[in-house]
Amino acid sequence: MTLPAAYPTAFPSRLPVELAGMPFALTLVESSSPSGLRQQAAKLLQRHLGLTLAECLYVEGSGRWLGRDSDDLQFDCADFSHPYAHVIRSNKPLALSVADARIRLDHPGFQAQLSALSGALQLNVLPLRALDGAREWLGALLLVGQRETLTALENTPEMGAFEALLCRLWSRLTREQGERHRSQALQASLAKLNDGARRQTLADRLADDLLGQSAVMSSLRQHIIRAAETQLAVLLQGQTGTGKDRVARAIHQFSTRSKAPFLAINCAAIPEALLESELFGHAKGAFSGADKAREGLISQADGGTLFLDEIGDMPLALQAKLLRVLESGRYRPLGASEERCADLRLVAATHQPLKEQIKQQRFRADLYYRLGQFPINVPPLSERRDDIALLAQAFITAFCQREERDDIGITPAALRLLKRREYPGNVRELKNIVDYACAMTPAGADIDVDVLPGEHQDVATLTSLEEVMPNEFPLSDEVDDLRQALREVETSIIRQRLRRFGGNRARAAESLGLPKRTLAHKCQQLELDGK
């Protein structure tokens, strides 16, 4: 498009109507990406208005930085050593001479932009925001040229129409680009779901950190790998001490966000008055004692994973704000005038029955369903007793390494006791018991039942079979009827167990690992009485 002959090189009193006309509009509409649109708009302005420099800067996802398409230079929106911060914060255009800018503004990157420009030129910086209801920041437009030209641009219908067209196209292309990225990410996630062999390999690697050979642990590791392959919010539910924090870290470790930060907070451990500031951050002067601005965990976790432990203890008011972050990716720090964006993966955990809390109006139903896009139940130790021996040995090894002790063993009797006892505190309780037993075991000895806390009354009942047999059962060289000897051994064991539990067959059967019906049948065959 050539400049009409009727217009001089500079425009001190009027502008070409083509600025907002069909040729300009068609040129912008042909852009296929936000980056291409910004570059095309800058070229049109510079070429047809005779400007020395025109450039579009964009606000990146978190709302903290302005970037340039031409290089990786960034401008902090809170740093007033460059003009863009003034424009973004005030939402008003800024006009000053290049000479004044060199004196008043000392940002190195901005000064590099001005280094080749004449001090007699003027620069104008215009704020650009989306025109829809969200009014979100898009970026800023830098224009550098003769003072008369830029003065003529101010408050003209043509320039206003050009800015409006640019912002509408920019906002639309940004949404379309985001939808394409989400579609591509979804397709990639679906493709990964079919990769069973690769997933199994990852699950096997995870077994080094989440110990256990039981079926429930194998299933848990599979769920973790599947969750890590998506961008869905994860809700971990399980009893206290089951290792929900380790599951959350595993999801982050095996996700595409593994190189970005993993941040965690316990919602029950922080006072309600401080929890909002911890999560969302605050501006300077937001409340008494806020002598400087502070980034919250949501901002720090941008690009990574945020783990909210004990989400059931979060106050209702904060639940509403968290829901908005999940739905729109936007939040506002305490006392701040502008919203920010955050791209993060949220993993939440609780031991509380959230559905019951919803009925009691202590937890938002909409937040529950948004958090539970990928629910995972972490099994209690009572459902994986076969893993107790493996866990106990791992805790013993870790204790010896940490305390620089020689290797410690554990007797079969002590191990049987560990497998039988109840663990309301789950794996955490088992670890505490093993650590205590290790500390109480003398050097060169193995962990035995007498050093296990709270179980001294059961020591006599846990004497190993090898210790009992010489006194109650015939020696091997005295046996002349093997079947009868085995029958006597079985009778003696069942009689002892019934005696221990006061004749209660249900408890005796459970302690022997037998169904109650099987034990009843054996009692009938062996002519043993019991309840």
Q: What is the set of domains in the chain, with CATH numbers?
A: 17-177 (3.30.450.40), 195-378 (3.40.50.300), 382-462 (1.10.8.60), 465-525 (1.10.10)
Distance between the two ends of the chain, CA-based, in angstroms? Answer: 101
Residue showing tokens 């994860």: 234
- Residue 531: both structure tokens together: 């309840």
Query: What is the C-alpha separation between 350 and 156, in angstroms, rounded?
Result: 58
**In this predicted structure, what is the pLDDT of residue 77?**
87
Query: What is the C-alpha separation between 185 and 77, in angstroms, rounded?
Result: 30
Phi and psi torsions of 474, nearest 5°: -65, 145
- If we measure between CA atoms, which residue out of 434, 433, 452, 445 comes closest to residue 408? 445
| pLDDT tens digits, 102-138 | 888 989 989 988 888 998 999 999 999 887 655 678 8
Query: What is the C-alpha separation between 489 and 483, in angstroms, rounded?
Result: 10
Q: In one letter, which amino acid is 162?
A: F
Which residues make beta-bridge pairs with 57? 140
**In this predicted structure, what is the pLDDT of residue 529?**
61
Strand order in the sheet with 345-350: 262-266, 305-309, 345-350, 234-237, 374-377
- With 0-12 / 13-18 / 19 or more C-beta atoms within 10 angstroms meaning exposed / middle / buried, residue 278 is middle
Low-confidence ranges of the chain (pLDDT < 70): 1-25, 132-135, 189-196, 285-286, 288-290, 454-479, 529-531
Q: Are 508 and 500 in contact (CB under 8 A)?
A: yes
**In this predicted structure, what is the pLDDT of residue 69?**
86
**In this predicted structure, what is the pLDDT of residue 9?**
37
**In this predicted structure, what is the pLDDT of residue 463?**
39
In order of 136, 278, 283, 349, the CA distances from 293 in angstroms are 22, 12, 4, 29
The neighbour count for residue 115, using CB atoms within 10 Å, is 8
Q: In one letter, which amino acid is 36?
A: G
**In this predicted structure, what is the pLDDT of residue 135?**
63
Query: What is the C-alpha separation between 23 and 12, in angstroms, rounded?
Result: 23
**In this predicted structure, what is the pLDDT of residue 193?**
62
Phi and psi torsions of 134, nearest 5°: -70, -30
| pLDDT tens digits, 364-414 | 999 999 999 999 999 999 999 999 999 999 999 999 999 989 999 998 888
Which residues make beta-bridge pairs with 349? 236
Query: What is the C-alpha separation between 321 and 393, in angstroms, rounded?
Result: 45
Query: What is the C-alpha separation between 225 and 227, in angstroms, rounded?
Result: 5
